Homo-oligomer: A and B are copies of this chain.
Amino acid sequence: MTGARSGRRAGDSGTREAIVTAARRRFAENGYDGATIRGIAADAGVDPALVLHFHGTKERLFAASLQLTVVPGELITSVLAAERRRLGEEFTGHLGEIVVRSVLTVWEKEDARASFVGMLRSAATNEQAARMLREFVTTTIMTALSQAVGPDAGEPDPATRRYRASLVASQVIGLAFTRYVLQLAPVTSASAAELVAAIGPTIQRYLTGDLSSG
């Protein structure tokens, strides 16, 4: 069965999956502007019209390719829930290292790293992609993080929780950018354990520490 043949059946989830897989790779390699519907269709072995039939627009396809890789918000929520059960009262004090270890574990998987780096590349060069990534980070990752430092973890103010979560995003995104995009030597070659020890306390302070003075 070729991709083109299977594509004739609109309900074929294999074709839909092949298109999204091709899109994910193209967006990662070429960024949002550089990836074309035509190129994605060619990679998936289908007609460009079928890509549009399934996904409507390049933007929707981009969104679909984000949702079908690791879903960061869900992942963070489930990791934090598991760690909360495991650590009990100590959970809040270990949030920083849990966050750093989790993102590094995810990024060790090449697919997940490639899709995140692709998101950064796209956001860097295209306002539409930046808006999508911004909304995505806000509605999933920041929501998951700000729940973790909610009232029962000592931060009753929702605006402060969002500020804390955005500071975490600034360091986590900066880590990804220097480690994988810029490939700045010592950060790139450092082990996960070294980075958890170095950056974990930063994230911990952003989530639960005093932010108004040094």
Q: Which A residues are closer than 8 A to B by beta carbons?
A: 31, 34, 96-97, 120-121, 123-125, 130, 133-134, 137-138, 159, 162-163, 165-167, 169-175, 177-179, 181-187, 190, 194, 197-202, 204-206, 211-214
Nearest residue (CB) in B for A211 is B198
**Assuming the A-B contacts A97-B214, A120-B124, A167-B187, are A182 and B173 also in contact, with contact meaning beta carbons closer than 8 angstroms in the complex?**
yes
How many copies are assembled?
2
Judge whether B186 and A175 touch: CB under 8 Å. no
Are the CB atoms of A133 and B182 closer together than 8 Å? yes
What's the nearest-Cβ distance from chain B to residue A142, in Å?
A: 8
A162 touches B178 (CB 8 A): no
Q: A125 to B30, alpha carbons, bound, how many Å?
A: 8
Contacts of A201 in B (CB 8 A): 205, 214
Q: Which of B165, B171, B214 contacts A174 (CB 8 A)?
A: B171
